[in-house]
């Protein structure tokens, strides 16, 4: 629609900080439990991993939010825990409890027992990428993703989700070498995983460093940023680094070579742009809980973010994933509010 042949999708132009007619919009976790059509498919399997391992279902799920809303990007339907699963950790989901790993990392011996990473074990993910890309119109970009090495290490040490990741944070000081080695192994695995997603048709990639913000700055540089850089070295597609709680370290991320940064809702976008200067794309950053507001206030909140960063180099998104209790209509309000504002 209005896209002349050869014009790259809006999302890719925004990621390259090129001129855009409006700010593109997509939403982290846009395919998920807040959508009744997701819950319908989800109810057909017990373990969430049984959805993730079926490319045809992943394709249907990735397209659900695209059908419902005028979004500028689809994200691969999968999960970050596919990589620990391929390393032999036995990832499964227990109803009402979230992810569980049958084998967790507690010392050097458990590290030695990990399987060598074989990217072919995740062929089902690359097949999902291929299917989704061929089902999408050219104007909608496809984003592939991985957990960052640090965030994957967090789940592998903890053995699942956690409210405070205390086991992981103690291990930082008890056995720093175990975490250095683990994040190194993961950097190599994530790199191969992302390359295969790119080869299958992903046009941009996002690294979810969901738990980077747990770390003191010096350890974040060593155990989160450094392996993340290694994981994306030489990738010739745009990479978005989303470090939740990473607002203090945006300059380090830019200086490390990341061309696009996901910004959580605690950080002011105008400040972020002032600090970083031009040349790095910023993605974000509406508080996901703002979608519980009445439509009028919700529109105002979207307007506030577009005022903070009106121009090129901005990709509108939430500051973290959309929550399961969100009314699907609220996302329609957000998307409409973004799309109805031209870049001046």
Residues that bind ligand CP3 (CB under 6 A): 28-33, 42, 48, 75, 77-81, 93, 98-99, 145, 161, 208, 210, 321
Q: How far is the CB of 142 from ligand CP3 (least distance, A)?
A: 12
Which of 213/312 has CB closer to ligand CP3? 213
- Secondary structure of the chain as H, E, C letters: CCCCCCCCCHHHHHHCCCCCCECCECCCCCCCCCCHHHHHHHCCCCCCHHHHCCHHHHHHHHHHHHHHCCCCEEECCCCCCHHHHHHHHCEEEECCCEEEECCCCCCHHHHHCCCCCCHHHHHHHHHHHHHHHHHCCCCCEEEEEEECHHHHHHHHHHCECCCCCHHHHHHHHHCHHHHHHHHHHHHHHHHHHHHHHHHHCCCEEEEEECCHHHCCHHHHHHHHHHHHHHHHCCCCCCEEEEECCCHHHHHHHHHCCCCEEECCCCCCHHHHHHHHCCCCEEEEEECHHHHHCCHHHHHHHHHHHHHHCCCCCEEEEECCCCCCCCCHHHHHHHHHHHHCCECC
Q: How far is the CB of 10 from ligand CP3 (least distance, A)?
A: 19
Which of 99/313 has CB closer to ligand CP3? 99
33 is an active site residue:
yes
79 is an active site residue:
yes
Which of 75/129 has CB closer to ligand CP3? 75
236 is an active site residue:
no
Which of 75/87 has CB closer to ligand CP3? 75
54 is an active site residue:
no
Active-site residue set = 29, 33, 42, 79, 155
């Amino acid at each position: 629609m209005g896209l002349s042949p050869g014009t790259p999708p809006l999302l890719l132009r925004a990621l390259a900080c090129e001129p855009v007619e409006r700010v593109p919009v997509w939403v982290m976790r846009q395919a998920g439990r807040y959508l009744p059509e997701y819950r319908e498919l989800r109810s057909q399997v017990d373990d969430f991993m049984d959805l993730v391992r079926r490319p045809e279902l992943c394709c249907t799920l990735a397209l659900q939010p695209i059908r419902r809303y005028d979004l500028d990007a689809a994200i691969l339907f999968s999960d970050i825990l596919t990589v620990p699963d391929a390393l032999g950790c036995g990832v499964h989901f227990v109803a009402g409890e979230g992810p569980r790993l049958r084998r967790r990392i507690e010392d050097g011996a458990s590290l030695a027992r990990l399987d060598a990473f074989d990217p072919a074990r995740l062929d089902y993910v690359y097949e999902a990428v291929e299917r989704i890309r061929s089902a999408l119109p050219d104007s909608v970009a496809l984003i592939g993703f991985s957990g960052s090495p640090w965030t994957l290490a967090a789940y592998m040490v903890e053995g699942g989700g956690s409210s405070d990741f205390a086991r992981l944070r103690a291990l930082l000081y008890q056995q720093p070498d175990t975490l250095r080695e683990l994040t190194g192994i993961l950097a190599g695995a994530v790199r191969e995983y992302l390359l295969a997603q790119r080869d299958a048709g992903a046009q941009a990639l996002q690294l979810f460093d969901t738990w980077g913000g747990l770390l003191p700055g010096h350890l974040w540089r060593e155990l989160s940023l450094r392996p993340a850089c290694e994981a994306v070295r030489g990738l010739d597609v745009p990479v978005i680094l989303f470090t939740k709680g990473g607002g203090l370290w945006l300059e380090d991320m830019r200086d490390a070579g990341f061309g696009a940064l996901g910004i959580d809702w605690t950080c002011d976008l105008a400040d972020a742009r002032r600090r970083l200067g031009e040349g790095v794309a910023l993605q974000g950053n509406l508080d996901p809980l703002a979608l519980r507001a009445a439509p009028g206030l919700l529109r105002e909140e979207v307007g506030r973010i577009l005022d903070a960063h009106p121009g090129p180099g901005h990709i509108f998104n939430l500051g973290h994933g959309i929550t399961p209790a969100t009314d699907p209509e609220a996302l329609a309000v957000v998307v409409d509010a973004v799309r109805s504002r031209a870049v001046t």
